[in-house]
Chain A
């Protein structure tokens, strides 16, 4: 926990095991839903699948950051065991199941859990159409929240001139925490509380974003996968129908954006 700033985000790989580097050169394969996927040493199942143009649903994973492995949307079954594809390294001969009714059913349940623990009113949310959570709900055909809503008492922080935070929508992926700490070198965010009472807190005496040196240009201001951290002055700039996920499902967008960043 130091305050030094790191210019570049750490590379996204699962922590390494000794001896792996020796075998790095050869092409190795595992199977995903019965079809082979090539991987290189150190790649996670999710990274290898994505590089091969195969989609595994995920929410807290981000190509510029090490795996977080908290949302569990990427749950797969490998050689009979349940694993997180984002944080498990690919291994030769692994037989991974992902796109099955069983696993998609579980993913739907996880999404429903995320929806009911927060307050998500998609029709009124500026992120609608750009939101990964909403897009995944469409992708996985989530029809309703299923569980009783928790209706938690959360607030909005509009104290900053250019950015506001709607805590009602936070899904605890810690991307803002990690981006602010590891890329911006500012440590603006942290999680506090425990269990279902866990929540985001802000690095100032008042707990207000306006009392920090946060800037709309920070990586942390541009990374939230949902509508929790939003820019002011630009609301609803893209009409319905033209937003990222309106016409194209997240499975396609996610693979295409990785292709574009290469």
Chain B
């Protein structure tokens, strides 16, 4: 960011950021972002300065900073490069490209180069699966990586070219809208849905949303009108609307497209909600990976203020004040869970709360809060500006309207597809040009894996339910490695609050790695069952509850890929003597055969 300017002191950076956020400790995550932007990382004196200036405990500041992946408590390079590590990026060759970059720049993966110039590592899915492999450099996405592009990047780094001066085409993010329906075809005249709502009044608006039978598009499928009504009825003078733009589910990128080209729809949807429930403040909780969208979203917000669609007395209504602030996440999938999101909005670690109470009665700052997905909010405009009956008549009786799918993986035309609910899997595969399909992962890492015998099933809350991720795996893909990638994702993203998920996801990861290294035996399959059972029955939130899904579904449908990895013994210890000797080899600078331990079984065979 400030590559050429003289860096401020930690105290100056802290004071500057804290002034910008009006000394409000609930903005701690935003303050940490500003300070890190100024200093390159978060050195201990910066944490002290933030704590002292805000008048809060230093341990709390350290606790929050230590929670999020994109806050760096250790020095990092001037160029911070993170390759998206979703399975779709991997299938497009990301690991090889990363190895290549590390070789050219002479840096170890996950570490900083000796000259302090660059850090190269991996990060969870960056939401560019339709144009991967992708990486983030200092927070900006670079898409469509090739060997050539990697070489160019390395040259730019060698020349110390500021990221701002890199070729624009590196940062091109395409919408890739492949199929439009109700929502994507709908051009909103800003304010028109709002006018229709004001004409109907608050109760009339709620009745319309009810009539449409709109259900949440963020995963759980909760009826939107019921949620809004509950927040409206909850006691207290203050209410909040939160747009959940954390889109962290691997393989999902439809909210990115909506925020890019349908931001008015989304913000007007938030304003509709505010009108219905009587909220005065709204937040867009935007994942860090979409930070590049902030200037665009700010511009849309400014324009809407100019048009009198945000701010005081919206549409000249006496009791209709509402405005929206953007809050940036910092790399934590769990913050998509609505109560963890609210904790993060309050400037805390993203730990899911005990529920009930639910956010509609006790959300942001303990006040009634509606949390809705980006797509849900955009669709409320459709209901108002067009017709609730038409909306309700689309899709299936239990799942009205359309669904945006983010399609990636092995197909000719990845991108965004909008379909009425009830669309069959086979039809989708045909439309996006997928042949020889072995499996489809619907709903992301936490979703379900479907085998060809299930391709007659349909996308709907009552059938195959999904927040929108749709990853396709061709006949040559190894489904075990797909599941292993998802297990690594969950172990990395577990917030660590509850025992089953904190420890269970790591144990599961170790087991999958053991099998990957051909050290698995029959006994390990029953261990997998033990772990997935405990995750499913005793986890505190949806992350842990579904963390075993990829293993459970692939193990039942693609049993072979597990069995073929097993050793012909009942039990194989996890302890690996040869691996344990690695440190000794490193110290003695040896790597010859004699320095390696050979399994006696291998000698015998």
> Which of A75, A193, A195 is the one whose CB lies under 8 Å from B537?
A75
Chain A hits for B362, CB < 8 A: 15
Taking a contact as CB atoms under 8 Å apart, the answer to whether B495 and A116 are in contact is: no
Chain B residues, Cβ within 8 Å of A78: none
Contact across chains for B502 and A196 when beta carbons are under 8 A apart: yes
> CB-nearest residue of chain A relative to B65?
A192
Pairwise interchain contact A201-B235, C-beta atoms closer than 8 A: no
User: What's the dominant secondary structure at chain A's contact region?
Assistant: loop
> Which residues of chain A have C-beta atoms less than 8 A from B502's C-beta?
117, 172, 195-196, 198
Which A residues are in CB contact (< 8 Å) with B44?
205
Contact of B58 (CB < 8 Å), options: A16, A147, A193, A205: A205
- By the criterion CB–CB under 8 Å, are B60 and A1 in contact? yes
- Does A70 contact B498, Cβ atoms closer than 8 Å? yes
Instruction: List the A residue with the shortest CB-CB distance to B47.
Output: A205
Q: Are A195 and B59 in contact (CB under 8 A)?
A: no
- Residues in A with CB closer than 8 Å to B68 are 194
B492, CB-defined interface residue at 8 Å: yes
Contact of B506 among A67, A71, A172, A196 (CB under 8 A): A196
Q: Which residue of B lies closest to A16 (CB)?
A: B357
A87 part of interface (Cβ distance < 8 Å): yes
Contact B503 A1, beta carbon cutoff 8 Å? no
A216 contacts chain B at the CB level, 8 A cutoff = no
User: Once the chains bind, are A202 and B540 in contact (CB under 8 Å)?
Assistant: no
The chain B residue with its CB closest to the CB of A193 is B66
Residue B493 is within 8 A (CB to CB) of chain A in the complex: yes
Indicate which residue in B67, B235, B538 contacts A75 across the interface (CB closer than 8 Å).
B538
Interface residues on A, range: 35 or more
Flag whether A122 is at the interface (Cβ < 8 A).
no
| CA–CA, A195 and B69, complex, Å | 11
Alpha-carbon distance A204/B65, docked complex (angstroms) = 15
Q: Shortest beta-carbon distance, B28 to chain A, in Å?
A: 8
A30, CB-defined interface residue at 8 Å? no
Residues of B close to A1: CB separation below 8 A: 25, 56-57, 60, 347-348
A196 to B332, CA, bound (A): 14
**In the complex with contacts A70-B498, A106-B534, A113-B507, A193-B67 CB distance below 8 A:** yes
Q: How far is the CA of A148 from the CA of B513 in the complex (A)?
A: 14
Pair B56/A110 contact, Cβ less than 8 Å = no
Instruction: Tell me the count of chain B residues lying within 8 A, CB to CB, of chain A.
Output: 53
> Do B491 and A196 have beta carbons less than 8 Å apart?
yes
Per-residue interface assignment for chain A, residues 208 to 238, with 1 indicating a CB less than 8 Å from any chain B CB and 0 otherwise: 0000000000000000000000000000000
Residue of A nearest to B348 (CB): A1
The answer for the CA separation of A198 and B494 in the assembled complex, in Å, is 10
Q: Are A87 and B57 in contact (CB under 8 A)?
A: no
Residue of A nearest to B63 (CB): A190
Chain B window 36-61, contacts with chain A (Cβ cutoff 8 Å), 1 for yes, 0 for no: 00000000100010000001111110
Complex contact A201–B62 (CB within 8 A): yes
Flag if A15 contacts B356 (CB, 8 Å): yes
Determine if B361 is an interface residue (Cβ-Cβ < 8 Å): yes
Q: Does A197 contact B (CB under 8 A)?
A: yes
CB of A72 within 8 A of CB of B59, answer no
Distance in angstroms between the alpha carbons of A205 and B234 in the assembled complex: 43
- Say whether, besides A15-B357, A72-B538, A201 and B506 are in contact (CB < 8 Å): no
Q: Mark A110-147, 1 if CB is under 8 A from B, else 0.
A: 10011011000000000000000000000000000001
B418 to chain A: closest CB distance in Å? 35
Q: Is B15 an interface residue (CB 8 A)?
A: no
Question: In the assembly, what is the distance between CA of A109 and CA of B527, in Å?
Answer: 11
- Write the chain B residue with the least CB distance to A196: B506
Q: How far does the Cβ of B505 sit from chain A's closest Cβ, in whole Å? A: 7
A197 in contact with B496 given A15-B357, A17-B357, A150-B506 (CB within 8 Å) = yes
Report the separation of the CA atoms of residues A205 and B362 in the bound assembly, to the nearest whole angstrom: 35
Q: Take A192-B65, A203-B58 as given contacts and tell me if A14 and B354 are in contact as well, using a CB distance cutoff of 8 Å.
A: yes
Docked complex Cα distance between A58 and B48 (Å)? 36
- In the complex, are the beta carbons of A69 and B492 less than 8 A apart? no
Q: Is the CB of A195 within 8 A of B496?
A: yes
> Do residues A3 and B494 form an inter-chain contact, with CB atoms below 8 A?
no
With a cutoff of 8 Å between Cβ atoms, the chain B residues found around residue A2 in the complex are 55-56
**In the complex, which residues of chain B have a beta carbon less than 8 angstroms from the beta carbon of A191?**
63, 349
For A113, give its contact among B500, B533, B540 (CB under 8 Å).
B500
Q: Give chain B nearest CB distance to A59 CB in angstroms.
A: 9
B347 touches A114 (CB 8 A): no
Q: Which residues of A contact B537 (CB under 8 A)?
A: 75, 82, 106
Residues of B within 8 A of A32 (CB): none
Known: A114-B499, A148-B574, A190-B57. A195 touches B494 (CB 8 A): yes
Rounded to whole angstroms, the CA-CA distance of A203 and B56 in the bound complex is: 10
Residue of B nearest to A203 (CB): B59
- B510 contacts the other chain (CB 8 A): yes
Q: Please list 21 pairs of residues, one from A and one from B, whose beta carbons are closer than 8 Å in the complex, sorted by A's number.
A: A1-B60, A2-B56, A70-B540, A71-B499, A72-B540, A82-B538, A84-B540, A106-B534, A113-B499, A113-B504, A114-B503, A147-B507, A148-B510, A150-B506, A187-B57, A194-B69, A194-B332, A194-B349, A194-B495, A196-B491, A196-B505
Write the residues of chain B forming the contact surface with A, with a CB cutoff of 8 angstroms.
25, 44, 48, 55-60, 62-63, 65-69, 234-235, 332, 347-349, 354, 356-357, 361-362, 491-500, 502-507, 510, 530, 533-534, 537-540, 574-575
Given contacts A69-B540, A72-B538, A181-B57, 20 further A-B pairs with CB under 8 A are A2-B55, A2-B56, A18-B234, A18-B361, A70-B497, A72-B540, A106-B534, A106-B538, A110-B538, A113-B500, A187-B57, A187-B60, A190-B57, A190-B60, A195-B496, A196-B496, A196-B503, A201-B59, A203-B60, A204-B58
A→B interface (CB under 8 Å) = 1-3, 14-18, 67, 69-73, 75, 82, 84, 87, 106, 109-110, 113-114, 116-117, 147-148, 150, 172, 181, 187-198, 201-205
Top 6 nearest A-B pairs (CB, nearest first) are A192-B66, A187-B57, A190-B59, A190-B63, A203-B59, A198-B496
